[in-house]
Structure 1
Amino acid sequence: MSPTNDTNKSIEEQDHLSQETKDMLLSLPREKGWRTPYIYLFQGFWCQPAEIQAISTFQNHFQAKDSDVFVATVPKSGTTWLKALTFAIMNRQNHFISSKNHPLLSFNPHDLVPFIEYTVYGKHDKVPDLSKFHEPRLFGTHIPFGSLPNSIRKSNCKIVYICRNPFDTFISSWMFVNKIKPPSMPTLKLEEAFEMYCNGSVGFGPVWNHMLGYWNESKERPKNVLFLKYEDLKEDVIFHLKKLAKFLDCPFTLKEESEGVIENIIKLCSFEKMKELKVNKTGTFGRNFENKFLFRKGEIGDWTNYLSSSMVEKLSKIFEEKLYGSGLKFRVK
């Protein structure tokens, strides 16, 4: 069977895709996927077929409101943690942080801050009814800034973005994929995954373009896009939570600060706390994987246990070149 016929067959077998999406995939460049047979180059970034379908529907139908808040992230860069923190901050008047019935104790953060491309628009090519979402609406996404709908980019909604140093991001992504990949997919070896990452062919990559899209917009519109780094957030959580709350137009009052509200949010959303919750030990994220796979270590610098010196040198040079002149830099240790 020729490569072209093989491509057609793999696309046609995906019953969850609309015919329009299947036709589109035939015209897109493709590479071997990390957890699907292929990923496709769509609007300048690589993603899975189902993601392309969801993003297309999202772009065509979503109407932003100025009160909307989006938690945008590079995959495996602190997404679950930032979603929990953002939800807790925005909903602290309705759900007291010290309450035994706080939603974060019984729901995974991805349930409370649903992904646009997996949950909200992830059901075939149907347009969801968003009237049931309480305002201000809170969503999560891995979609690069340039591919967000015009209604978002032209609105006054808020976008909170977080990324992580590329070494830890790579290792976390590689280990995560090998845990959740379907049985039909072979184990992805470190060396192969590394070359794919360096070439940019990773979900929602190239990673450097993903970072730069939100970084540049945060410089242009700082009141609408807040750019955070995982390492900075870990180093001084209190400072960055105050910054986040102020950005979201719900700053902490002096009374809240004196009563320890910020510290209680940090404790509620801590890696250790979330990892031990029953919902995160036994629950599942959609039909894709178990919640427990979302919590590995959450440490900075774990990449030193896996990457050779030549790998570090190669990836360092790539990011130095790609980020040159932008002002965006990372601490790697």
Structure 2
Amino acid sequence: MPDDVPVDTDGWWCDPKTEYAFLGFSYEVSACQSADQLKKEFQDARDRFQSRYIRLYGACDRDGFYDDVIEAAWSASVGVQALIWFGFDGDDKWKSRRDDLLDTLYSNPKAPFVTRGVQFGSEPLYDQVLPPSQLASQVSDAQTTLRPLGINVTVSDLAYGFQSTADQGSQKVLDQIDFIDAHMLPYFSQHASTGDKAWPDVQNDLNYFLDNGKGKKIYFSENGWPSTHYCPGVCPNSPDAVSSVDSEDKYYKLLDSKCEYLKQVNGGGVGWFAHIYSDNQEPGYGIYDTNMKLKFDFSPKTSC
């Protein structure tokens, strides 16, 4: 990062066409990590794995938390996909989270230079937290607010989230968002077996976004394969689905093997995140285990 904060974001961000292959980690924040922990782990993501981005997941409602995220990202030279978290309680806390985030994006001078985009919910269509028309309106309002800062807005959801609400108008949401954050969780497919055999399900969901996304840039945001099995929570829909460290490893190696294909996908290629940084954040999905030891050799391609 430069010594002084730039005047504006003109020419600041890389061309999205260069953002394919491994981009970084989903990072769960309900633990309200300290500023020091954020800096340490963002720097680790950058230095050890060549991460370019951190995609936030969950929520921390501590005052000033996103300021800490901004400082950690600035220090580590990574971008952030911020998140307005709806949660699972059906309450309206998301409104104050929205307002607090937008306020911080304007009040912190470094915010536009680390915040690549804002996710309006994680699986909001699948969870039916708002009717699609209202969700599209929320996205539109946020775009109007953030356009002067050069920050884009999206939702982060499954292809099934859009498909299951198509008759309610989910295409309006897909039309409104600036880029596509596609959840790619093939372990839950009815055809799932092992991570190395997941490509047909990945391709199927990707094709939905290619067919309906009108050429928008696509990222695999919540993307991974679990190493442990538990219900409720990580409960498969296929009797053949294997949750193991080996299968998790093979899923990411599968994505690596498809690097050339993902690079050529319409809209500027597909970049992907690993869900999630450690098992302390979400059991089974971490690249690190609960003792912060790598579960397998994770050295994904960042280009091809």
Q: Which has the larger radius of gyration?
A: 1
Q: Taking structure 2 as the reference length, what is the TM-score of the superposition?
A: 0.32
* Structure richer in helix, relative to its length: 1
* Structure richer in strand, relative to its length: 2
